[in-house]
Structure 1
């Protein structure tokens, strides 16, 4: 069976591990005051990698919590992918130097596709394209700016420019525990052939069962899970 990764999300804000509801900074739940210990907890449970987002950086436009990110990465033996405010090669280099296995581009890919393409070409699999979507359109600037561009158009262009992996987040489902909306994900998988990681809305093991089955016939390779882990709606065997 094709491998499928269930990846815990650790969102950083003000030094804490938090979750936002649908990306809304005014609807925050603080889950842990020690993100390093939290990362170690998920690693010990069997997580294959971690997904870390600097929410302060996403708003500021540059990495804000670089030292904390460095400590999170240094505290675990599994690979860590990092995003949030990565809008320059300088930011990419800073996160790679901090030990990130992969660095995630979101806003830059939508607003400066030529720059993103050059980074894809230079860094290869170390760079991931984040496709954050609301109402069918790409969202930028920490999920606070809705573009006019349809998400499939962005996906096609990024794949053509050399993106070797896409993280697809459905913002309306993120943090809601409503379950995954599979139709937009399937449309994306029909549009591009590069590996895709799904994100947003996972509720329980039934979502994972469908995603794993979908992965066997598509380029889907994993899912990022946040609130379902923190609220305990996924069992300890979700990594298997």
Structure 2
């Protein structure tokens, strides 16, 4: 399993939100390039960056920063936030970003997402599905988790059979350090073996990473536990590898 240390960006600052709530922001650093350098020094090979300003505005806000960071690091960057058009995706991919994350657009305009996959290929795009567990079912939420789509995770995936990279966040656990939703991740891996699952939300201790690896996750996105110094990137990389 590959570890993706995460940086959420607001106005160029490295922050974390609790359950996606902008009113519950913690500021950790004003230097994302320095953070990426520390991730690389710890043995990480990939990192996950989110333009929270862009996600809220539903249009690019910090994509120039993504490009600058891609040119400043050897890490393969996966970036999210504010992507709505093919041109926006092409711009950052051409500049050296490894993968672009598409979330709400895939629900609101699935044909547009299909066109993106056709244009760039399934290795350059990640489908992000944020879910709330209701009556045992993972229901997909959109637009910063404010809107319920009324669709299950399996229903959305059935509409996009060419997806290779899937990022799933259990909203209830994001930024809460309560441990990941292992039953959910195991169920996704079992139902969709051709998909490379990225598990997000809840990692608090190193054993959580080993558990996710054993559950079959291809990648684990870890933010708050690293920023809160629960463990080092080097320790996390070692546990992610098993």
Following superposition, the deviation at residue 190 of structure 1 comes to 2.2
Per the alignment, in what secondary structure is the counterpart of residue 52 of structure 1? Answer: strand
Q: For the Cα contact (< 8 Å) 1:130–1:168, is it kept in 2?
A: yes
What CA deviation, in whole Å up to 9, does each residue of 1:29-81 have, x standing for no partner? 01101111111111111111010010011111122112211122112111101
The residue correspondences of 1:171-190 to structure 2 (distance < 5 A) are 171-190=171-190
* Equivalent of 2:237 in 218, 236, 239: 239
* Equivalent of 1:68 in 59, 65, 68: 65
Residue in 1 aligned with 2:20?
23
The residue correspondences of 1:216-227 to structure 2 (distance < 5 A) are 220-227=217-224
Following superposition, the deviation at residue 151 of structure 1 comes to 1.7
Moved more, 121-130 or 47-56: 121-130
Equivalent residue pairs, number: 231
Residue in 1 aligned with 2:114?
117
Note the residue ranges of structure 2 that are not aligned, 5 or more in a row: none
Q: For the Cα contact (< 8 Å) 1:129–1:167, is it kept in 2?
A: yes
Runs ≥4 in structure 1, deviation > 4 angstroms?
Answer: none
Aligned-partner Cα distance in 1 for 2:36–2:102: 22
Following superposition, the deviation at residue 8 of structure 1 comes to 0.3
Per the alignment, in what secondary structure is the counterpart of residue 37 of structure 2? Answer: helix
Per the alignment, in what secondary structure is the counterpart of residue 172 of structure 2? Answer: coil
Following superposition, the deviation at residue 98 of structure 1 comes to 3.0
Following superposition, the deviation at residue 152 of structure 1 comes to 2.0
Q: For the Cα contact (< 8 Å) 1:17–1:30, is it kept in 2?
A: yes
Aligned-partner Cα distance in 1 for 2:185–2:109: 24
Following superposition, the deviation at residue 22 of structure 1 comes to 0.5
Per the alignment, in what secondary structure is the counterpart of residue 186 of structure 1? Answer: helix
Per the alignment, in what secondary structure is the counterpart of residue 33 of structure 2? Answer: helix
Indicate the RMSD between aligned Cα atoms, in angstroms.
Answer: 1.3
TM-score, with length taken from structure 2: 0.91
Aligned-partner Cα distance in 2 for 1:34–1:97: 24
The residue correspondences of 1:128-167 to structure 2 (distance < 5 A) are 128-135=126-133, 136-158=138-160, 160=161, 162-167=162-167
Per the alignment, in what secondary structure is the counterpart of residue 178 of structure 2? Answer: coil
Aligned-partner Cα distance in 2 for 1:30–1:178: 20
